[in-house]
Structure 1
Amino acid sequence: MKLTITPKALNWFKSEIEVADGQGIRFFGKVYGSTQVHEGFSVGMSVDTPENILAETTEDGLLFFADEADEWFFKGYDLVVDYDEKLDEPKYEFNEA
């Protein structure tokens, strides 16, 4: 799994989310909603301390990651995190790995 954060998404995270030293922004599968490849599940995010990292990227000093516990959700896909200007929130795109 490859994790990509667009510059617009990075700006949103930096202005909206406070992350303490040693923590990062974790993406995970959560019940309810849907994605372009999952029915009944959507992407959740939280500020968390990384432990068993499945995928990670650091952008402008900010860590973004997915945990091995969520491999079932991301298996076979790369995740692109972008910014939705109309909703003023992140949007997620799954691409086949």
Structure 2
Amino acid sequence: MKLFRLAAVLAVLAGPASAQMPNINLMQDAPSKSPEEKAAEAEREKAYKETLKKIPDSKASSDPWGGMRAEQPKQPAAPKASAATSAPKKTKSGTAAN
């Protein structure tokens, strides 16, 4: 148990010490590009920009739930006067008409 405690204390103390190590870059800088590579990259970039210009602007709605909603309810047509006058009125059953 004492060994476990000693290992935990050493691990806690070693954390800050490792953060103080200098940052050493062992990788060399990338070699410069040749004129042919630069020309090829410029040509690719030009073709890419021309392709982007060919894409049309989208005018679609940005509503992601637009297809999930029901359509707006349409206003019912005004009832015709002849249909309203020709139908007899119904009375509730069980009511006295006195």
Band of TM-score, shorter chain: under 0.3
User: Whose relative contact order is higher, 1 or 2, with alpha carbons under 8 Å and at least 6 apart?
Assistant: 1
Greater helix share, structure number: 2
Say which one has the larger Rg: 2
Greater strand share, structure number: 1
TM-score (norm 1): 0.15
